[in-house]
Amino acid sequence: MNLADKITLCEVGPRDGLQNEARLFSAEEKVELINQMMEAGFKVIEVGSFVSPKAVPQMANTDEVFRALKPPADVELRALIANARGVDRAVECGCRKVKLNVSASKAHNLANLNRTPEESVAGFKECVDKAAANGIAVSGSISMAFGSPWDREIPIQDVKDIVNAYLNVGVTEISLSDASGMAYPSQVYNMCTEMMREFPQVEWWLHFHNTRGLGVANIVAGMEAGVRNFDTSFAGVGGCPFVPGAAGNVSTEDVVHMCDEMGVKTGIDLDKAMEISRRVAELVGHPTDSYLLRAGKSKDLIRELPKGQLKNQVKAK
């Protein structure tokens, strides 16, 4: 099985996880959690988004959170933005990395925004230039890359067209995202293999939701294809915009645990990550989709042997 020696996880819980929660987290709570994450070994964290506070009140305090954080040089704190105003806010609060997103659904983009996804990405040029002028790095995301509720299947050529549009505006770090929870392992493997072959200059990320229980299998498939960067969310919080009550992003601790077992390095301290996730589960106040929080680590399952046949325990050593 062709796996990785080492992968990078981006903790997207503070953004994609918490934006799906009814409870609004205070800036202090977020800062405390993110500081704990940095201590647990996370090197990439999606802190929040610079979008309309009316549309996403859960992210209204993102600027405040950034101002309070003092990341070391090797930690990347990123924020999702929708337009150039997002870059302005990033500049103002000291955020050094922003992420843009476009949906891969041509039909939905045309019906909703009157432009194709490539046209939307071409329109990101202003953001990218403004970010560059301010020393802020930019990555791009393609949501619904593995299927959309409006098209069902997205032709791989459509995704390639969007990648080219990103490259045209100077974005070379690109995330393929499955916000609709429709991705499946063979598709992930094939799409990633093809994308990595055609665009070797791109730094790829994968972003899976566990909507239909395939998130972890999709990560393994992506790893087999050669991708080394994956988004996960503490305690598995998050959701699916199309399916009320669906499971959220793949749980960080479930993925770190699997990687620990497989000898794939993440640099993350699992015990500390689980502590953070336990705290998040407590704060959101409802059960979340984390297996590790329910079952604990395999390593912790060790039980005493029954005492009935003590002499045999020596024989078994």
Q: Are 71 and 37 in contact (CB under 8 A)?
A: no
Q: Are 234 and 273 in contact (CB under 8 A)?
A: yes
Q: Which of 135, 200, 263, 285 binds a copy of itself (CB under 8 A)?
A: 263
What does the alpha-carbon distance between residue 152 and residue 144 come to, in Å, rounded to a whole number? 9
Which one, of 71, 4, 83, lies nearest residue 44 by Cα?
71
Q: Pick between residue 62 and residue 109 the one whose CB is nearest to a copy of itself.
A: 109
In the stretch 287-316, what mask flags binding to a copy of itself with x, by CB under 8 A? ----xx-xxxxxx-xxx-xxxxxx-xx-xx
Q: In a 10 Å sphere around its CB, with 0-12 CB exposed, 13-18 middle and 19+ buried, how is residue 237 labelled?
A: buried
- Distance of closest approach, residue 119 Cβ to a copy of itself, in angstroms: 11
The residues assigned a catalytic role are 240
What does the alpha-carbon distance between residue 298 and residue 203 come to, in Å, rounded to a whole number? 33
Q: Is 186 in the site for a copy of itself (CB under 8 A)?
A: yes
Q: Is 110 in the site for a copy of itself (CB under 8 A)?
A: yes
Q: Is 210 in the site for a copy of itself (CB under 8 A)?
A: yes
The stretch near a copy of itself (CB under 8 A) out of 54-62, 92-100, 131-139, 247-255 is: 247-255
Query: Which position has the token pair 């990395």?
Result: 97
Q: Are 256 and 269 in contact (CB under 8 A)?
A: no
- Distance of closest approach, residue 42 Cβ to a copy of itself, in angstroms: 20
Q: Which of 26, 190, 197, 271 binds a copy of itself (CB under 8 A)?
A: 190
Which one, of 57, 38, 58, 23, lies nearest residue 281 by Cα?
23
Residues in the chain: 317
Q: Pick between residue 90 and residue 182 the one whose CB is nearest to a copy of itself.
A: 182
Which CA distances in Å does 311 have to 98, 304, 305, 307, 317?
A: 63, 15, 12, 9, 11
Q: Which of 19, 211, 249, 266 binds a copy of itself (CB under 8 A)?
A: 211
Q: In a 10 Å sphere around its CB, with 0-12 CB exposed, 13-18 middle and 19+ buried, how is residue 18 labelled?
A: buried
Q: Footprint of a copy of itself on residues 136-155 (CB under 8 A)?
A: 147, 149-150, 152
Q: Is 285 in the site for a copy of itself (CB under 8 A)?
A: no
Q: Is 265 in the site for a copy of itself (CB under 8 A)?
A: no
Footprint on this chain of a copy of itself (rule: CB under 8 A)? 1, 3, 106-108, 110-114, 147, 149-150, 152, 180-182, 184-187, 189-190, 210-214, 216-217, 219-221, 224, 240, 242-243, 245-247, 251, 254, 257-258, 261-263, 291-292, 294-299, 301-303, 305-310, 312-313, 315-317
